[in-house]
A = this chain, B = another copy of it.
Amino acid sequence: MKHFTTVNHIDDLDSLLLLVKQIKSDPYSYKELGTNKTIGLLFFNPSLRTRLSTQKAAVNLGMNCITLNLNNEGWSLEFEDGAVMDGNKAEHIKEAAQVVSQYCDIIAIRSFPTLTDKEKDEAEHVIHSFLQYATVPVISLEGASEHPLQAVADILTIQEYKTKQKPKVVLTWAPHPKALPHAVPNSFIKMMQKSNVDFVITHPKGYELNPDITKNSTILYDQDEAFQNADFIYAKNWSNYNDYGKITSQDPSWMVTTEKMALTNNAKFMHCLPVRRNQIVSDAVLDGDNSIVIPQANNRTYATQAILTKILQDEDH
Contact = CB atoms under 8 A, between A and B. Distances in A.
Contact-residue size bin, chain A (C-beta under 8 Å from the other chain): 35 or more
A268 to B, nearest CB: 16
Given A94-B287, A293-B95, A47 B73 contact: yes
A230 to B, nearest CB: 22
A162 interface: no
A279 B86 CA distance: 7
A281 to B, nearest CB: 10
A269 interface: no
A53 B85 contact: no
Copies in the complex: 3
Contacts of A274: 75, 90-92, 95-96
A221 to B, nearest CB: 24
Contact of A103 (B43, B53, B64, B87): B53
Given A275-B91, A294-B95, A73 B69 contact: yes
Nearest to A59: B64
Interface of A: 27-28, 36, 38, 40, 43, 46-49, 51-53, 55-56, 59-60, 64, 66, 68-69, 72-75, 78, 82-87, 90-92, 94-96, 98-100, 102-104, 177, 273-279, 283, 286-287, 293-294, 297-298, 301
17 contacts: A36-B60, A46-B74, A48-B74, A51-B74, A69-B73, A82-B283, A83-B278, A84-B278, A84-B279, A85-B279, A92-B274, A96-B274, A98-B294, A99-B273, A99-B294, A102-B297, A103-B298
